[in-house]
Amino acid sequence: MTIIACARRKTDGLLTWPQVSPQAPNQSAIVQKGINSFGSVADDWEYIELTNEEYQTVKSAMPGRSFMAITVDEVGSPTRELTAKPAPSISSDKAQIEDDGVDEAVVTFDVGAASFEGDVTFIITAPDGDQQTIVKTAAVGVASLSITTLLTGNILVDARAEDFGDGVIVVEGI
């Protein structure tokens, strides 16, 4: 029997990406995944198992975010309501930039919700493996970042908005 499990943040129902296991997964490790991915402490997270249908819904939305509300009726029966948000879009105005430190590419991350005006974290990995993290504030759901390079090779840009998901794009330094 396959078990599909993830961690659920108790405050808002945010789910980590599911883990599929042929046997009982380590519940503490799954809760730790929530802490590592989104912060907080173990008491703020809980281990839950997903049905195959719920798993398919979450999987199809990745790298977008999914949330599960759990309510209990008057006789103590729980009801689960799963909401999956589509992944944000990410684009660049250039696929390649000169390695002169002047030529720049503008990377745009759009969460698809004009009401969003929160933080977007850009994690930039240079061709030599060095990483830099820059936080920008989205306006009408969109955040942009200009990048330059002095190195040749692929520059990986991973943009993240906690409640919406991730977007990854590569710009090449030439």
- Residue pLDDT, tens place only, 92-103: 999 999 999 999
Q: Are residue 61 and residue 105 in the same domain, yes or no?
A: no
Alpha carbon separation from 36 to 7, 29, 32, 45, 91 (Å, rounded): 11, 10, 6, 11, 27
pLDDT of residue 109: 96
- Rg of the chain over Cα atoms, rounded to whole angstroms, equals 19
Are 10 and 24 part of one and the same domain? yes
What pLDDT is recorded for position 38? 84
Residue 24 has pLDDT above 80, yes or no: no
Q: What is the CATH number of the domain that holds 96?
A: 2.60.40.10
Contacts of 153 (CB under 8 A, 6+ apart): 126, 127, 128, 172, 173
Residue 122 is predicted with a pLDDT of 96
Report the alpha-carbon angle 67-70-71, nearest 5.
Answer: 145
Residue that wins the pLDDT comparison between 64 and 44: 44
Return the pLDDT at 163: 82
Measure Cα distances from 107 to 51, 155, 167 in Å. 37, 11, 11
Domain count, the chain: 2
Please provide the average confidence, as pLDDT, over all residues in the chain. Answer: 90
**Which range has highest mean pLDDT (80-89, 131-140, 158-167)?**
131-140
Q: Does the bond joining 63 to the residue before it have cis omega, within 30 degrees of 0?
A: yes
Are 110 and 158 contained in the same domain?
Answer: yes
Q: Tokens in use for 94?
A: 């250039």
Same domain, 35 and 99: no
Q: What is the pLDDT of residue 94?
A: 93
Residue-wise pLDDT tens digits, 109-137: 999 888 889 999 999 999 999 999 999 99
Question: Residue 147: which domain range?
Answer: 89-173
Tens of pLDDT, residues 38-48: 888 888 999 99
**Which of 84, 105, 140 is where one domain is finished?**
84
Q: How far apart are CA 36 and CA 61, in angstroms?
A: 21
* Residue where a domain terminates, one of 44, 64, 84: 84
Specify whether the CB–CB gap between 14 and 163 falls below 8 A: yes
pLDDT score, position 47? 93
CA distance 4 to 19: 6
Q: What local confidence, expressed as pLDDT, does residue 120 receive? A: 94
Residues 67-85: tens digit of each pLDDT: 988 888 788 888 888 888 8
Q: How confident is the model at residue 138 (pLDDT cuts 50, 70, 90)?
A: very high
Of the residues 84, 110, 130, which one is the last residue of a structural domain?
Answer: 84
Distance CA 66, CA 34 (A): 13
